[in-house]
Amino acid sequence: METRTKHFIKALETGRVGVNICLRRLHAFAVDTGWLPWPVMPKKRWPKIMTGDKRGITAEKHHRIIVAERDEEARDFYEILWQVGGSQSDMATLTAENIDWANRTISYARMKTGSIAIVRFNETLAVILRRRGQTGFLFPTLTKVNQTVRGRRFSRLVARLKISGVTLHSYRYAWAERAKTCGFPERFAQEALGHASKAVHRAYAKKAKVLIPPLEEYERKFQAAELPATTLPLCA
């Protein structure tokens, strides 16, 4: 009852983004449940939540990471993050039983949402999967530690390489940026990343730079691939 707006402002000015988010949630909960008879901070006085710039890992930086990582298990883990774009927790807990070699797919339930992801893999990823074992966890050591430990290990590696501004989560941004750049259908990218909202996926891929080809050239390729040989051209 003695807390005033100035106390909130002081905490928000000295804290980071997490302080803003957590204090907002606690304040809203206290008002909704009747712990507070009125809001301490009016909605218009709350500072805007400013998150840091999200950066995807480039192919060049990923290559440097793979070359520098001496542990084979961790190296294969980073390769799968690059190829699949899954969250680090989902990828770290993959098992050999998640792999369907007949259909060349990886199937798993996402920890965050419980939804099922089914991703087809190519020969590049198949080579990595074959050396990860035929039963049990693909990454037995990484499975035993939580995401914070895995993240710290990765942070030490990139710091040694003088690569700044990236985390394990940056692999998801990188996957989305690569998908958008090469013209990968957005609905497939959403399924791969596990986001139902187009806005969420576009936020992931906002830094992607797309070189737009001539429409006529793209149209000819589409017609050659999709239309029967006897079909007349659409354009004279």
| Average model confidence (pLDDT) across the chain | 85
pLDDT at 235 over 60: no
Q: Is the pLDDT of residue 211 over 80?
A: no
pLDDT of residue 113: 84
Amino acid at 202: R
pTM above 0.75, yes or no: no
Using pLDDT thresholds of 50, 70 and 90, give the confidence band for residue 219.
confident
User: Residue 229 has what pLDDT?
Assistant: 46
pLDDT per position as a tens digit, 152-163:
999 999 999 999
| pLDDT of 230 above 80 | no
Nearest to 174 by CA among 50, 54, 38, 6: 54
User: Which one has a higher pLDDT value, 199 or 186?
Assistant: 186
Residues of the chain above pLDDT 90, percent:
42
Tokens (6 digits) for 49: 């939540």
Structure tokens belonging to residue 142: 């990484």
Dihedral sign for Cα 130, 136, 137, 140, please: negative
pLDDT band at 232 (very low <50, low <70, confident <90, very high): very low
pLDDT band at 77; cut points 50, 70, 90: very high
pLDDT of res. 185 = 82
How buried is residue 166: exposed, middle or buried, by Cβ count under 10 Å (0-12/13-18/19+)?
A: buried
Could you tell me which residue, 153 or 11, shows the higher pLDDT? 153
Give residue 184's pLDDT: 82
Average pLDDT for residues 177-206, to the nearest whole number? 75
Q: Between these two residues, 43 and 127, which has the higher pLDDT value?
A: 127
- pLDDT exceeds cutoff 60 at 197: no
100, β-bridge pairs: 105
Contacts of 164 (CB under 8 A, 6+ apart): 158
The 3-class SS string of the chain reads CCCCHHHHHHHHHHCCHHHHHHHHHHHHHHHHHCCCCCCCCCHHHCCCCCCCCCCCCCHHHHHHHHHHCCCHHHHHHHHHHHHHCCCHHHHHCCEHHHEECCCCEEEEECCCCCCEEEEECCHHHHHHHHCCCCCCECCHHHHCCCHHHHHHHHHHHHHHCCCCCCCCCHHHHHHHHHHHHCCCCHHHHHHHHCCCCHHHHHHHCCCCCCCCCCHHHHHHHHHHHHCCCCCCCCCC
Q: What percent of the chain has pLDDT over 70?
A: 86
Rounded Cα gap, residues 178 and 59, in angstroms: 10
Distance between CA atoms of 163 and 141, rounded to whole angstroms?
A: 25
Residue pLDDT, tens place only, 93-150: 999 999 999 999 999 998 888 888 888 998 999 999 999 988 999 999 999 999 999 9
Looking at residue 162, its pLDDT comes to 94
Domains detected in the chain: 5-45 (no CATH), 59-204 (1.10.443.10)
Mean pLDDT, residues 67-89: 94
Contact 139, 76 (CB under 8 A): yes
- What mean pLDDT comes out for the span 32-54? 82
